[in-house]
Chain A
């Protein structure tokens, strides 16, 4: 099947229901997208499918043909993504860092749609788990990266 990932159309030869996560990691070698729980609970595997944060561990590859898929590796190709990354660095958000690809992509999607999110918007959008408990710095970084 063909998948459009990070602006490039890729031919991948996998079982149709292979989770998008494993196509990205194993077929394309993009390891910034992380495996955490496998059941769409933690959000470490978040990618953007047509701009929407999507848990790739529970997304069959054949369900996203014809969409535009973005992974953390190209997050800085948009201005919003760049701003989010700089806010993450400035706020020193990551600790172990393992969940942060998904956090950064979730924030990028939020701010792309809603440049000036309310506290409720942030709470609604930023739901990925972080075992290091960087939640307060995540919130601060999202506010920093917003246009307000």
Chain B
């Protein structure tokens, strides 16, 4: 067994038992094994939140907050600054926010924490409020002691403690040191939401100026004294190993080169400068041989053949949910339609390539600075690679240049184990950057997915729907969720709210040879496309309007009825078309809905076809996250989710031939260009339901709304993404 194989099932406090337990208490996430934040658990309030661990108050009146979750564009640092600031009574712009290190008390998801599942705000909203409220009480107590007056006579204005009776006041900065030495009070009352100043307002992001002037620092920018730079070349097919580098001596003689290293499935060059390492490793003449890997790619693997395999795979259906008797209803129905839908492998395509800097210290500890969404998990793996105890490893997550699920712990997809091995080998700190080509080779792609639908319609619409989702989800792969309980394998086909009287939804497990991963919106990223597309097919079969049919199927569901009406109104009233637009193009619209990550979303898209290609002109999204913190950030996240949704619907697809991905960079793997970006209008509906996620929920309804619009316009029902595989020249 190789080192990487041993690491494959690294214990991360997320055992199968942990998964099931988490699933039982699953109010927060349908995908990730997330449990409530500590602050939300019974008994936690009795001891007060760990204010000194999370908050530093400085004598200049500013505050530093350590965030359990990494900033990667989603705006979590600003969200937390305004949430803590609301209760602390300190304006958000006075905060600096940094990522917290691995371990307690930052493992706020119950022994670990990760940035994902659109879970950061909703898991920690109460904790952040309690931190701010307790810290404010400590400042008041410090002033009360100093002034020898009862704390109950004191109040605050932003950044200042006041004693109204005497007019005495002191800025937070003057009280900071004394306050932070006080015990943390428990059960401090929270502010009445009716009195919020910052929560629910579009507070500007605290990081945009640095990000507009090149000052923001990412993992790739990190430097440590005395470090060397490293580049790798991965085996073109996962499972191959380097047998030798025939020109190793020549490479080691190249300018700046320190050394050449044969790693598991890769060759690395360590040099004084990164470009020297890249140039050298590109020159390496590597003989590849069959090696060992936990998930070796079959040498004959092709994504096209795999799609056919999934389509042909019959097997035990692990039931996920059912109502009525779908089989009987399908047997007895007059009109039954069947369809198979599929969606391709996708890379994450975050613009910052993965990187890691590793440094062994004289005291036996190891520091790792890297692109990371799950520090506790990285810590465990890093300790195994380095041969250290977990508490000897410091994981420093760096601000992410995009993530979308790229930087969870996946067997062979993360650069930090290589960086640790290289630092150990050369006895100096090493920064390893994966070039885009190496990132594509070892990314953990969104799995290719496929589902078979059968539907029965009567005069009043759908009477039965059955769906068999064939394949494997990332939560099954990495957290041992069994078929039928792996939400990531079916969500978006399961978890729908339409009142169809007879349904049967299940998973037919079939292993995926690729190192599959989480991609923005996870299972929802493709399953809502499949379900909502098929639902439109049922509407056609029933000769019903797709919007009206959804309205009828949601009758009595106030939250979703409201949302559907909201998106209709936002788009100027439902008008499927086709109709002639002002520019003379023929256009049509489609509608779709999704229930992802504790939130609800509805989308309408407007499309035309030109030169055989689909153009998406406008997208309207109504989103109901229950409750929100920052409407500007919610809107930006929906814009972003729409962009990714349009991108994967129009152009994205990672194909494999002979066990290798056929694209290694953005030249052969398209992502959305600026001229392909539709206008986007967003309406936020706050139903008051428990807080849901925001980062991902804007995505899943976008694809099916486009595909449904295309069907309306062209009569072509697309059941296989992306649209660029299809020719609409006949339209």
Residues of A within 8 A of B (CB): 14-15, 18-19, 22, 25-27, 30-39, 41-42, 44, 71-73, 75-76, 85, 88-89, 92-101, 104, 123, 126-139
Bound-complex Cα distance A32 to B352 (A) = 12
B134 within 8 A of A: no
> Which residues does chain B contribute within 8 Å of A104, judged by CB atoms?
212-214
> Which residues does chain B contribute within 8 Å of A123, judged by CB atoms?
674-675
Taken residue by residue from 641 to 659, chain B's Cβ proximity to chain A (1 for < 8 Å, 0 otherwise) reads as 1111001000000000000
Bound-complex Cα distance A39 to B211 (A) = 23
CB A41 to nearest CB in B, in angstroms, measures 4
B502 within 8 A of A: no
B18 within 8 A of A: no
Contact between A96 and B401, CB atoms less than 8 A apart: yes
CB B658 to nearest CB in A, in angstroms, measures 23
Bound-complex Cα distance A27 to B272 (A) = 11
**Stretch in B80-88, B117-125, B216-224, B603-611 with 4+ CB within 8 Å of A:** B216-224
**Stretch in B42-50, B68-76, B285-293, B322-330 with 4+ CB within 8 Å of A:** B68-76
Bound-complex Cα distance A133 to B353 (A) = 17
**Stretch in B480-488, B664-672, B711-719 with 4+ CB within 8 Å of A:** B664-672
The 8 closest A-B pairs by CB, nearest first: A133-B643, A32-B214, A97-B211, A98-B401, A96-B73, A72-B214, A95-B73, A94-B211
Closest to A26 in B: B273
B274 within 8 A of A: yes
CB B706 to nearest CB in A, in angstroms, measures 15
Bound-complex Cα distance A131 to B214 (A) = 17
B495 within 8 A of A: no
Query: Binding site of B, secondary structure by majority: helix, strand, loop or mixed?
Result: loop
Bound-complex Cα distance A138 to B679 (A) = 12
Contact between A92 and B402, CB atoms less than 8 A apart: no
> Which residues does chain A contribute within 8 Å of B680, judged by CB atoms?
136
Contact between A94 and B212, CB atoms less than 8 A apart: yes
A selection of 22 A-B contacts at a CB cut-off of 8 Å is A18-B275, A22-B275, A34-B352, A37-B665, A38-B435, A41-B667, A42-B351, A42-B666, A73-B213, A89-B212, A92-B636, A94-B208, A95-B73, A97-B208, A104-B212, A129-B671, A129-B672, A131-B349, A131-B671, A132-B643, A135-B672, A137-B639
Contact between A31 and B401, CB atoms less than 8 A apart: no
Contact between A36 and B353, CB atoms less than 8 A apart: yes
B169 within 8 A of A: no
> Which residues does chain A contribute within 8 Å of B216, judged by CB atoms?
97
CB A12 to nearest CB in B, in angstroms, measures 11
Contact between B435 and A129, CB atoms less than 8 A apart: no
Bound-complex Cα distance A71 to B675 (A) = 25
Interface residues of B in 257-286 (CB under 8 A from A): 273-275, 279
Closest to B666 in A: A41
Taken residue by residue from 212 to 240, chain B's Cβ proximity to chain A (1 for < 8 Å, 0 otherwise) reads as 11111110110000000100000000000
B contact residues, total (Cβ < 8 Å): 60
> Which residues does chain A contribute within 8 Å of B204, judged by CB atoms?
89, 92
> Which residues does chain B contribute within 8 Å of A14, judged by CB atoms?
275
> Which residues does chain B contribute within 8 Å of A101, judged by CB atoms?
214
> Which residues does chain A contribute within 8 Å of B168, judged by CB atoms?
none
CB A136 to nearest CB in B, in angstroms, measures 6
Contact between B401 and A34, CB atoms less than 8 A apart: yes
B12 within 8 A of A: no
Other A-B contacts than A94-B212, A127-B674, 12 sampled, CB-CB below 8 A, are A22-B273, A22-B274, A26-B273, A26-B274, A30-B214, A32-B214, A39-B665, A96-B72, A104-B213, A129-B671, A130-B643, A131-B349
Contact between B639 and A134, CB atoms less than 8 A apart: yes
Taken residue by residue from 165 to 186, chain B's Cβ proximity to chain A (1 for < 8 Å, 0 otherwise) reads as 0000000000000000000000
Closest to B642 in A: A133
> Which residues does chain B contribute within 8 Å of A73, judged by CB atoms?
213-214
B112 within 8 A of A: no
Contact between A36 and B208, CB atoms less than 8 A apart: no
Contact between A98 and B667, CB atoms less than 8 A apart: no
Bound-complex Cα distance A37 to B640 (A) = 21
> Which residues does chain B contribute within 8 Å of A132, judged by CB atoms?
73, 402, 640, 643
Contact between A98 and B218, CB atoms less than 8 A apart: yes
Contact between A98 and B351, CB atoms less than 8 A apart: yes
Contact between A131 and B350, CB atoms less than 8 A apart: yes
Contact between B352 and A36, CB atoms less than 8 A apart: yes
Asked, given contacts A95-B640, A100-B212, whether A37 binds B402 with beta carbons under 8 Å apart, the answer is: no
CB B71 to nearest CB in A, in angstroms, measures 8
Bound-complex Cα distance A93 to B667 (A) = 26
Partner of A96, one of B352, B433, B641, B644: B352
CB A24 to nearest CB in B, in angstroms, measures 11
> Which residues does chain B contribute within 8 Å of A25, judged by CB atoms?
274
Bound-complex Cα distance A38 to B440 (A) = 13
CB B540 to nearest CB in A, in angstroms, measures 31
Contact between A35 and B433, CB atoms less than 8 A apart: yes
CB B145 to nearest CB in A, in angstroms, measures 41
Closest to B212 in A: A88
Bound-complex Cα distance A85 to B642 (A) = 25
> Which residues does chain B contribute within 8 Å of A37, judged by CB atoms?
351, 436, 665-666
Closest to A21 in B: B275
> Which residues does chain B contribute within 8 Å of A98, judged by CB atoms?
218, 350-352, 401-402
Bound-complex Cα distance A96 to B305 (A) = 36
> Which residues does chain B contribute within 8 Å of A30, judged by CB atoms?
214
Contact between A134 and B274, CB atoms less than 8 A apart: no
Asked, given contacts A89-B209, A100-B211, whether A19 binds B275 with beta carbons under 8 Å apart, the answer is: yes
Contact between A35 and B353, CB atoms less than 8 A apart: yes
Taken residue by residue from 386 to 409, chain B's Cβ proximity to chain A (1 for < 8 Å, 0 otherwise) reads as 000000000000001111100000
Contact between A34 and B220, CB atoms less than 8 A apart: yes
Contact between A131 and B404, CB atoms less than 8 A apart: yes
Contact between B636 and A95, CB atoms less than 8 A apart: yes
Contact between B675 and A129, CB atoms less than 8 A apart: no
Bound-complex Cα distance A33 to B213 (A) = 10
Partner of A89, one of B208, B217, B255, B675: B208
Most A CB atoms within 10 A — which of B350, B666, B680? B666
CB A44 to nearest CB in B, in angstroms, measures 5
Partner of A39, one of B436, B642, B671: B436
Partner of A71, one of B214, B404, B674, B677: B214
Contact between A38 and B436, CB atoms less than 8 A apart: yes
> Which residues does chain A contribute within 8 Å of B274, judged by CB atoms?
22, 25-26
Most A CB atoms within 10 A — which of B72, B672, B674? B674
CB A102 to nearest CB in B, in angstroms, measures 9
Partner of A36, one of B351, B675, B677: B351
CB B210 to nearest CB in A, in angstroms, measures 8
Contact between B351 and A135, CB atoms less than 8 A apart: no
